[in-house]
Each structure stands twice: as structure tokens, then as C-alpha cells.
Chains A and B, each alone.
Chain A
């Protein structure tokens, strides 16, 4: 591929997904500044390997690279966060004492919701972001996060349950 054509095609197919790339990077790094660096690095890598892109979904392809770039960075700079154990399985079914009205109110406040989402372990955070913010199918998420489809479902189940507990467990925010 001629370098000029490659650049034109890249700008047409990959560049429009900048918001999705930034959104994922922001939620994985939990920091706006680092997210910008990650996105820039991911775009340069995407361009470098653009010859391996064969007409699949450009957004999913780009986010796979963004995710890998962020994880490499997390392993190098936030290793302590990566070693936090997270519980993949549902072990027991607790009685749910949460109040749906409280949950609805708190999750409607974007500051409270942002803080709660930031509290999730990164493996949970990423499936929630890819599913509920980006609207990917389980199969697409499995491809991006390099996990089986069944794991996508069980992580989402656990992630939403945790998120609910964080939101309902918080002391009442002063309004």
C-alpha cells in the first residue's frame, strides 16, 4: 500500500473513533492526562500495523490496540492495582437489601456514578465500559479483551453487582 493511500485510508477508517479510544483509555487509566498519552501511542501503533487491518470493525480493532497499550502501561506504572485480586465467580447469593429508588437516584448523578465506576477493579470496569458505554456485543468484547464470551457475561454480572453495592453502600452524599 502506498504510504499516502495508507494515511488517507487510516484517517478515514480509524481516526473517527477517537472518542471511543479516549473513553476506554480514560476508564482504564482513570486519568485524563494519561489517557491522552495512551490514545496517542495507540494511534501510532495502529498506524504502524495498519497493514494487518483487513476490513473488520475499525472501532473494535482500534480499541483492542488501545486496551493493550493501556494494560502494558498499567503493568508498568500501576502494578499494585493489577495485582488486586478480583473475584470472577458468584459464590453465594446474598440477600439484597438495596433500595431500587436509591440506586436509581445515585446512578443518575454522573459524579457519583463516575466515582463508583472508578472503584471497580479494571477487569470489571473494562467490560462495563465496552458493553454499556460503547454498546459492543459479548463476542466483540471477548475479542477486544481477549477472554472467552462466557467470561464476558460472568464479569458483567459481577461488575454490575459490585457497582450496585458501591452505589448503595456509600454514605448519603450531601446535596
Chain B
């Protein structure tokens, strides 16, 4: 065994991570090589010093309370800024009852439709991603980096395409939560405008045609294809967002 190899394996030997064969090889080497045996001794000193925990940083006393409060706040079903985390299924019965009362009393008042709720969620997610400095969990313009990143984090594999040549640069991806489920969010950039593209599996097998809406100055386009729902949202002009949607539709594989 040469010393270069040995000095990497010393770490594994010290941490008892080597298989018995390699372990005995390195032992033999340490017996006959003074330089490597010194490296081993030094690393052992360091590892032992760190393991005493003298530099371990325990959380400040009040942090647990603060986090507990924040998490409980997030879990609360009725808190306006956190309305995203509502469990809609659980709220369905009381909401339906309330809606019925409202509809009976005020026929002109209507609760928001599912689509309207989703539209608001999408806009909120978009705004939050820009506000909270939390655009991408995986910042990369490489579709072959972004796509595998989602595996193991989602139970579906979102199509990821780089449209840099067409003027829509892939910036990265992140996990988000919409429509009561984890979804893939892909971030694209056109000039200074950012586009969030949310993707999650569709429960309808038939592809849905493109629909457009505008909310709070943001343009939204959504469609479903190949068993996936796609929602694109941006402050980009409607025409350009349309172009973006068209590119994605043309490039995605045809529905089975």
C-alpha cells in the first residue's frame, strides 16, 4: 500500500469504517511506515479532542420555545398568514355548512371555487419564494442536476427542461406545497423576470387545455399533460408567458 492511499484510509481505520481486509492492510502499513503512523496519531488526537464536545454548540435556552411556538402557529388551521397549511379535507364539513348558510342568506355571496383557491395558493407561493430569499433548494441551470434532485423527495418525477436557448434560463428547483401535497417548483428566468413552474401529478387522465388568469398583477397559465398538472406564474407579460407554456408543451413527451 502506498502512503497516499494509506492517508485516506487512515480516516476510515480511525473511525472503524473499513472492512476487515483493508483494516488489516492498513494496520500492517502503519507498523512499517513511520510517516503514516504519525499521521494516524495526530488525527487520533484531533478526533479525540473534538469528541470531548468542548466545541459543541448547544442551542440557546429560549430557542426551543420559539421554535415550538412557530411550529404550532404553522399547524394552526385558522391563522390568516398561514392559510396555506389548512387541512382542507378536515375543514370541508364546517366550511360547507358555513357556505350553505351564507348562500341561503346571501345568494349573491359565493365561496371561492377550488380553482380560485389554487390560483391564490400559486400566487402566494410565487410571492413568498421571491420574498423569503428562498427561490431554489437546488440552484442549477442543468436539467440533469435538477431532475434527479427531486427523486426521493417526491413520489413522482417532474419533467425538467432547460429552455435557455429559447430565452428561458433554468435557475433551479425547490420543493413546495400546493393543493395539500408536496409539489415540484422549477424556477426559470427571462431577463429580470422570474417564473415559477409548479408541477404535480394530475388525477385526471385527459390532458386539460391551457387556461389563463391574472391575479395581483401576476399572470398565470395552467394546463395538464402526460398525467401532470403545470402551473406557471410570473410578472412576465402574458404573451411571453404564453410562449413559455407553448415551449414546454411542445417539448414534453406526448401523453401515453
Q: Which residues of A contact B66 (CB under 8 A)?
A: 40
Shortest distance in angstroms between B247's beta carbon and chain A's nearest beta carbon? 27
Interface centre among B45, B58, B153 (most CB of A within 10 A): B45
The answer to whether A44 touches B71, judged by C-beta atoms less than 8 angstroms apart, is yes
Q: Does B211 contact A (CB under 8 A)?
A: no
Per-residue interface assignment for chain B, residues 38 to 55, with 1 indicating a CB less than 8 Å from any chain A CB and 0 otherwise: 110111011101110111
How far does the alpha carbon of A104 sit from the alpha carbon of B49 in the complex, in Å? 8
How far does the alpha carbon of A89 sit from the alpha carbon of B234 in the complex, in Å? 44
The answer to whether A160 touches B47, judged by C-beta atoms less than 8 angstroms apart, is yes
Name B10-34 residues within 8 Å CB distance of A. Answer: 10-12, 15, 17
Name B107-149 residues within 8 Å CB distance of A. Answer: 133-134, 136-137, 139
The answer to whether B68 touches A11, judged by C-beta atoms less than 8 angstroms apart, is yes
The answer to whether B90 touches A3, judged by C-beta atoms less than 8 angstroms apart, is yes
For chain B, give the interface size range.
35 or more
Shortest distance in angstroms between A133's beta carbon and chain B's nearest beta carbon? 5
The answer to whether A2 touches B63, judged by C-beta atoms less than 8 angstroms apart, is no
Q: Which residues of B contact A32 (CB under 8 A)?
A: 57, 60
Per-residue interface assignment for chain A, residues 16 to 49, with 1 indicating a CB less than 8 Å from any chain B CB and 0 otherwise: 0011011100110000100110011001100111
How far does the alpha carbon of A138 sit from the alpha carbon of B139 in the complex, in Å? 26
Interface of A is mostly: helix
Beta-carbon nearest neighbor of A25 in chain B: B57
Interface of B is mostly: helix
Shortest distance in angstroms between A71's beta carbon and chain B's nearest beta carbon? 9
Give the residue of A39, A43, A90, A92 whose beta carbon is less than 8 angstroms from that of B8.
A90
How far does the alpha carbon of A154 sit from the alpha carbon of B5 in the complex, in Å? 10
The answer to whether A132 touches B51, judged by C-beta atoms less than 8 angstroms apart, is yes
Q: Which residues of B contact A98 (CB under 8 A)?
A: 42
Give the residue of A6, A23, A132 whose beta carbon is less than 8 angstroms from that of B57.
A23
Beta-carbon nearest neighbor of B84 in chain A: A48
The answer to whether A108 touches B49, judged by C-beta atoms less than 8 angstroms apart, is yes
Name A77-111 residues within 8 Å CB distance of B. Answer: 90-93, 95-96, 98, 100, 103-104, 107-108, 110
How far does the alpha carbon of A75 sit from the alpha carbon of B210 in the complex, in Å? 36
Pairs A-B, 7 closest by C-beta atoms: A107-B49, A132-B50, A22-B59, A110-B54, A157-B11, A26-B57, A156-B11
14 contacts across the A-B interface (CB closer than 8 A): A3-B75, A22-B60, A39-B67, A43-B70, A47-B71, A72-B139, A100-B45, A107-B45, A157-B10, A157-B43, A160-B11, A160-B42, A164-B42, A167-B46
Residues of A bordering B, CB below 8 Å = 2-4, 6-7, 10-11, 15, 18-19, 21-23, 26-27, 32, 35-36, 39-40, 43-44, 47-49, 51-52, 68, 72-73, 75-76, 90-93, 95-96, 98, 100, 103-104, 107-108, 110, 113-114, 117, 128, 131-133, 135, 137-138, 153-154, 156-157, 160-161, 163-164, 167
